[in-house]
Amino acid sequence: MIRMAKEDNQKKKFSLKGIGLATLGWEIALPIFGGVVFGHYLDRLTKTTYMFTLSFLGLGVFIGYYNIFKRIQIEILRKNLMQQNKKEEESQKQ
């Protein structure tokens, strides 16, 4: 009974991690696309050429890759915490 609950818990953790990894593409694409759309809107509003579009495209690329950078940092911290917990559990068993 305990073993089944532990396996179910591990499956849930794995599926939640998969959801987080599946959104990586969106975390890059949405800021870029949003920047282009907003920049194009401002260009049409101010009757300029592609000045705002290119500016917000660059900002969207920066924000997208910043999001990925932060996600990688979180995953590294999570992995380190899991390793620490395993070591503590093993030392307590001995």
- In the 3-class helix/strand/coil scheme, how is the chain assigned residue by residue? CHHHHHHHHHHHHHHHHHHHHHCHHHHHHHHHHHHHHHHHHHHHHHCCCCHHHHHHHHHHHHHHHHHHHHHHHHHHHHHHHHHHHHHHHHHHHC
Q: Containing domain of residue 50, as a range?
A: 24-93
Query: What pLDDT score was predicted for residue 86?
Result: 87
How many domains does one find in the chain? 1
- 69 in a structural domain: yes
- 41 in a structural domain: yes
Query: What pLDDT score was predicted for residue 93?
Result: 75
- 19 in a structural domain: no
- 7 in a structural domain: no
Query: What pLDDT score was predicted for residue 37?
Result: 97
Query: What pLDDT score was predicted for residue 66?
Result: 95
Mean per-residue pLDDT pooled into runs of 10, the chain (94 residues):
55 58 85 97 94 96 94 87 87 76
- 3 in a structural domain: no
- 81 in a structural domain: yes
Query: What pLDDT score was predicted for residue 12?
Result: 55
pTM of the model: 0.69
Residue 80 is encoded by which pair of tokens? 């380190």
- 30 in a structural domain: yes
